[in-house]
């Protein structure tokens, strides 16, 4: 690595054989002419989406009252450490998801668009909100966006009610006819973030045979540390430690897979056997991608619609999809609530890690906005009303957190999409069936 300017460029990479190491945001990246002011390097906006399938148990999700979020409901209890950054939103609707199906619950979540009823390759939906954002705020990054999932997502065939599987398995669409497949394998995601040069198999071989990505950069890292101050060295060490830990977890999963004789048909070979461990790895990779500014837009399908995954580790040995057709049965609702709570706890762990990761004058969470939720409300009815939706962001986003906002029934979810786009600097007059922005979600003083 050669640095000829006094200030390190924000897009500096350390490069080795089949690998490239992007750097986190450092104070040393402040232009030399303004360094005297001692202002932290300016962070960038980030936008993320997490999808959960088959709605929720509303009685245990929706907070009591409106306004200040005094007490979290049972399903959301794990969010207590970040409660001040959380806004619970109720009464949003996906009108274009009707007639209600699992396929359209997924396909309209980020598009708000009607999905053409077809079981062939002439599918047609809408450009999703994440991709609209990526076209603007992803121009300067290595990856315009990153699409992740927990399950293998076949795009061919018919999945439900005569709808092509692509609707159920793709959250992101870069155009109405271009679904973007998501990746479930942590090793492949790691390669996308840090692999450099050669084809995919060569990058994979290079990363595996090296032992550790960081081995190629030890000299450059040492040289870089001599150029920066103590706070930047601390940031670098934290970042490098995170990379090492992710590498170790990927290697553990791959070694364990070679000893397993019982493959999970929904899970790629070589990923952690435990759901929570797999999710943690994919969440950790999102932290690294944001920290190094490799991407600014992420979508993550935590599990897909009609998923028959069981959760014996939390006391739910029943497949998720069948119990989602609960018909008001208290026992089934209690099991759904356990699954909902489990998923939220994984999201909370991720948010806490974002909150603990330095970024400019704050943390990654301070400068990020995430929307978490489902395109289905009451799964037993296959409805798309009163959706379970959370918006999470830190101080730098202007989000007025720690609240429960209850809108008029039938408020388009597209209103929220339009508002989130505005928050990250993408200004549109409308989005699909939107009727306006949600003006009271963010502090207008903090807007761009």
Bigger pLDDT: 115 or 258?
115
Task: Please check whether residues 57 and 107 belong to one and the same domain.
Answer: yes
Task: Please check whether residues 23 and 51 belong to one and the same domain.
Answer: no
Tokens coding 282: 């994919």
**Per-residue pLDDT tens for 207-246?**
455 556 777 777 788 888 878 888 888 888 888 888 888 8
Report which of 112, 189, 179 is spatially closest to residue 149, judged by C-alpha positions: 189
Bigger pLDDT: 13 or 400?
400
pLDDT at residue 227 in the model:
82
| Unique residue bearing structure tokens 């929904």 | 266
Whether residue 1 is contained in a domain is answered as yes
Mean pLDDT lowest among 84-88, 207-211, 283-287, 425-429? 207-211
In whole numbers, what is the pLDDT of the chain averaged over residues? Answer: 85
User: What single string gives the DSSP state of each residue in 371-419?
Assistant: EEE-S-S-TTTT--BS--EEEEE-GGGTB--SEEEEEEEEEEHHHHHHH
Is 90 exceeded by the pLDDT of residue 43? no
Count how many domains the chain has. Answer: 2
Task: Please check whether residues 171 and 202 belong to one and the same domain.
Answer: no
Task: Please check whether residues 179 and 213 belong to one and the same domain.
Answer: no
Bigger pLDDT: 330 or 120?
330
Whether residue 140 is contained in a domain is answered as yes
Whether residue 189 is contained in a domain is answered as no
Which residues is 369 bridged to in the sheet? 47, 393
Q: Coil, strand or helix: which one is 81?
A: helix
Averaged pLDDT for residues 52-78: 95
pLDDT bin (cut points 50, 70, 90) of residue 68 is very high
Whether residue 96 is contained in a domain is answered as yes
List Cα–Cα distances, 111 to 130, 176, 267, 413, in angstroms: 9, 9, 26, 10
Mean pLDDT lowest among 78-92, 195-209, 242-256, 389-403? 195-209
- Rounded Cα distance between 376 and 104, Å, is 9
Task: Please check whether residues 24 and 70 belong to one and the same domain.
Answer: no
- State yes or no: cis peptide before 162, omega within 30 of 0: no
- Rounded Cα distance between 60 and 64, Å, is 10
Whether residue 290 is contained in a domain is answered as no
- State yes or no: cis peptide before 99, omega within 30 of 0: yes
pLDDT at residue 220 in the model:
80
Bigger pLDDT: 201 or 221?
221
Full residue range of the structural domain in which residue 349 is found = 47-184+275-283+297-446
| Conformation bin of residue 409: beta by default, left when phi > 0, alpha when psi is -120 to 50 | beta
Which residues is 390 bridged to in the sheet? 88, 372
- Rounded Cα distance between 260 and 267, Å, is 13
Whether residue 289 is contained in a domain is answered as no
pLDDT at residue 229 in the model:
82
Task: Please check whether residues 208 and 345 belong to one and the same domain.
Answer: no
pLDDT at residue 198 in the model:
45
pLDDT bin (cut points 50, 70, 90) of residue 4 is very low
Averaged pLDDT for residues 421-440: 92
Task: Please check whether residues 114 and 221 belong to one and the same domain.
Answer: no
Whether residue 291 is contained in a domain is answered as no
Mean pLDDT lowest among 188-192, 228-232, 405-409? 228-232
pLDDT at residue 241 in the model:
85
Is 80 exceeded by the pLDDT of residue 289? yes
Is 50 exceeded by the pLDDT of residue 37? no
pLDDT bin (cut points 50, 70, 90) of residue 58 is very high
Q: Which residues contact 123 (CB under 8 A, 6 or more apart)?
A: 115, 116, 164, 166, 167, 177, 179
Task: Please check whether residues 171 and 309 belong to one and the same domain.
Answer: yes
268 neighbors 141 (Cβ within 8 angstroms): no
Is 80 exceeded by the pLDDT of residue 67? yes
Report which of 322, 312, 252, 316 is spatially closest to residue 280, judged by C-alpha positions: 252
Averaged pLDDT for residues 392-409: 91
Is 60 exceeded by the pLDDT of residue 274? yes
Q: Coil, strand or helix: which one is 155?
A: coil
Mean pLDDT lowest among 95-104, 239-248, 438-447? 438-447
pLDDT at residue 36 in the model:
35
Is 60 exceeded by the pLDDT of residue 201? no
Please state the three-class secondary structure of 283-345 as a single string: HHHHHHHHHCCCCCEEEEECCCCCCCCCEHHHCECCCHHHHHCCCCCHHHHHHHHHHHHHHHH
Report which of 331, 232, 251 is spatially closest to residue 8, judged by C-alpha positions: 232
Whether residue 302 is contained in a domain is answered as yes
pLDDT at residue 31 in the model:
59
Is 60 exceeded by the pLDDT of residue 367? yes
Quote the distance between the C-alpha of residue 187 and its chain's center. 17
pLDDT at residue 39 in the model:
44
pLDDT at residue 121 in the model:
83
What CATH number is attached to the domain comprising 376? Answer: 3.40.720.10
Averaged pLDDT for residues 170-174: 94
Domain boundary residue among 235, 270, 305?
270
Task: Please check whether residues 264 and 368 belong to one and the same domain.
Answer: no
Task: Please check whether residues 367 and 418 belong to one and the same domain.
Answer: yes
pLDDT bin (cut points 50, 70, 90) of residue 182 is very high
The DSSP output letter for 359 is E
Averaged pLDDT for residues 143-157: 80
Averaged pLDDT for residues 398-415: 93
Task: Please check whether residues 302 and 440 belong to one and the same domain.
Answer: yes
pLDDT at residue 223 in the model:
83
pLDDT at residue 38 in the model:
39
Task: Please check whether residues 205 and 170 belong to one and the same domain.
Answer: no
């Amino acid at each position: 690595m050669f640095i000829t300017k006094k200030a390190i460029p924000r897009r500096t990479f350390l490069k080795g054989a089949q690998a490239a190491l992007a750097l986190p945001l450092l104070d040393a990246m402040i232009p030399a002419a303004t360094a005297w002011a001692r202002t932290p390097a300016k962070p960038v906006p980030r936008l993320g989406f997490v999808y959960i399938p088959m709605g929720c148990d509303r009685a245990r999700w929706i907070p009591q009252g409106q306004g200040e979020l005094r007490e979290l409901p049972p399903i959301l209890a794990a969010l207590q450490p970040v409660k001040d950054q959380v806004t619970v939103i109720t009464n949003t609707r996906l009108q274009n998801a009707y007639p209600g199906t699992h396929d359209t619950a997924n396909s309209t979540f980020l598009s708000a668009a009607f999905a053409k009823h077809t079981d062939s390759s002439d599918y047609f939906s809408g450009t999703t909100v994440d991709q609209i954002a990526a076209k603007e705020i992803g121009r300067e990054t290595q990856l315009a966006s990153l699409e992740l999932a927990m399950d293998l997502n076949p795009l061919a065939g018919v999945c439900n009610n005569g709808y092509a599987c692509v609707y159920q398995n793709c959250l992101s669409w870069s155009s109405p006819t271009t679904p973007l497949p998501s990746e479930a394998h942590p090793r492949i995601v790691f390669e996308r973030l840090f692999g450099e040069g050669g084809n995919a198999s060569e990058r994979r071989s290079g990363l595996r045979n090296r032992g550790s990505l960081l081995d190629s950069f030890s000299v450059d890292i040492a040289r870089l540390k001599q150029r920066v101050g103590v706070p930047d060295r601390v940031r670098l060490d934290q970042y490098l430690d995170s990379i090492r830990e992710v590498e170790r977890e990927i290697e553990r999963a791959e070694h364990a897979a070679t000893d397993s004789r019982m493959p999970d048909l929904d899970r790629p070979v070589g990923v952690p056997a435990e759901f929570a461990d797999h999710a943690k790895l994919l969440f950790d990779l999102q932290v690294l991608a944001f920290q190094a500014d490799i991407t600014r837009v992420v979508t993550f399908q935590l599990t897909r619609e009609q998923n028959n995954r069981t959760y014996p580790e939390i006391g739910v040995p029943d497949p998720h999809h069948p119990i989602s057709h609960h018909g008001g049965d208290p026992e089934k609702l209690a099991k759904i609530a356990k699954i909902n709570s489990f998923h939220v706890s994984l999201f909370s762990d991720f948010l806490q890690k974002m909150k603990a990761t330095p970024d400019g004058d704050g943390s990654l969470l301070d400068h990020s906005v995430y929307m978490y939720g489902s395109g289905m409300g009451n799964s037993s009815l296959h409805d798309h009303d009163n959706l379970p939706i959370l918006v999470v962001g830190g101080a730098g986003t202007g989000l007025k957190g720690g609240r429960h906002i209850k809108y008029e029934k039938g408020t388009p979810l597209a209103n929220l999409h339009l508002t989130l786009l505005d928050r990250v600097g993408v200004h549109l007059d409308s989005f699909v069936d939107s009727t306006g922005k949600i003006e009271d979600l963010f502090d207008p003083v903090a807007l761009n």
